[in-house]
């Protein structure tokens, strides 16, 4: 997609980090932009830096379906139909799965996965009905491929966002709507301060905030990639209709090694009963997937 000018974009987590970088890049492309964020003060500060009449802010908890619907109605009433959707809001919890509570799961899943689901389910039906094409970008992470013991729930959500995005790409291609998944590495952002926006009703199982660790994470994120650099790479990827947006090239060799390791786990077992029939079915599936990928790549 190359016709950005005049379109309306909706960016969650838009008041800092990648979201704010995207807002700047989209405004430069001639878009009208709504930045949605849970922090009202951050929205106000972001709008001051943008200083653009085509940018507005809307307070939104992305885990709320009703909140998403209300925000969509407000933005489209003020800026026109949204055809560029950036499900970018995310939080992190730096601990292992076995050391987490149900409240931890509900919080991180609510923002990182359900927030993307809510964005898709709110805006995509409107985009399809209008027939004007568009593009959806879901922010995952390199943590959607690479994981260690922590952050376990975060990894889970990002793996899910990646799979969801690929399936969505194929289903929306016939409607002229592109889908990409953004997989960044370290970014200069405020994700290290996620505990500041944790809802009170999901704190029952929360561990005390480790201020020393938060301080170390803050220093680490200061050397992260600048959001404006990532945003420029996102715009270029949308123009080229690429699915994967790997903004951080330093992960290439690590990912190649991981894929080699995965393929290396296959074994040449003897044929079992039903093998031929199963292979015949799988060939039909492969052909179907191949056609879906070709259709998705062909969106103008």
Residue of 154, 244, 269, 289 with catalytic role: 154
For residue 177, what are the β-bridge partners? 134
For the sheet with 55-59, list strands across it: 55-59, 32-37, 8-12, 82-87, 134-139, 177-182, 244-245
8 A C-beta contact, residue 141 and residue 184:
yes
Residues 6 or more apart from 97 whose CB is under 8 A from it? 152, 153, 156
For residue 245, what are the β-bridge partners? 182
Closest CA to 30 of 46, 54, 57, 10: 54
Q: Is 269 a catalytic residue?
A: no
The residues that are catalytic are 154
């Amino acid at each position: 997609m190359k016709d950005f000018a005049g379109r309306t974009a909706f960016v969650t987590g838009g008041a800092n980090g990648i979201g704010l970088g995207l807002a700047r890049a989209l405004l430069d492309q001639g878009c009208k932009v709504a930045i949605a964020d849970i922090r009202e003060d951050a929205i106000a500060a972001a709008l001051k830096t943008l200083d653009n009449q085509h940018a507005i802010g809307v307070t939104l908890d992305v885990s709320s379906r009703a909140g998403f619907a209300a925000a969509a109605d407000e933005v489209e009433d003020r800026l026109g139909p949204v055809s560029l959707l950036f499900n970018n809001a995310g939080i992190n919890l730096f601990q292992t799965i076995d050391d987490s509570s149900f409240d931890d799961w509900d919080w991180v899943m609510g923002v990182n996965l359900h927030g993307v689901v809510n964005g898709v389910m709110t805006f995509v039906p409107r985009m399809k009905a209008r027939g004007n094409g568009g593009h959806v970008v879901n922010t995952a992470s390199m943590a959607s491929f690479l994981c260690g013991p922590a952050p376990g729930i975060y990894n889970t959500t990002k793996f899910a966002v990646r799979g969801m995005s690929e399936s969505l790409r194929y289903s929306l291609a016939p409607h002229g709507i592109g889908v990409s998944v953004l997989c960044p590495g370290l970014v200069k952002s405020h994700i290290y301060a996620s505990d500041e926006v944790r809802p009170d009703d999901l704190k029952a199982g929360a561990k005390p905030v480790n201020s020393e660790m938060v301080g170390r994470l803050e220093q680490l994120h200061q050397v992260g990639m600048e959001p404006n650099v990532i945003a420029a790479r996102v715009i270029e990827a949308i123009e080229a209709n690429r699915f994967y947006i790997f903004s951080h090239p330093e992960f290439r060799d690590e990912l190649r090694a991981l894929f080699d390791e995965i393929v290396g786990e296959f074994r040449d077992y003897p044929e079992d009963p039903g093998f031929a029939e199963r292979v015949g079915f799988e060939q039909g599936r492969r052909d179907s997937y191949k056609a879906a990928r070709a259709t998705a790549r062909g969106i103008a």
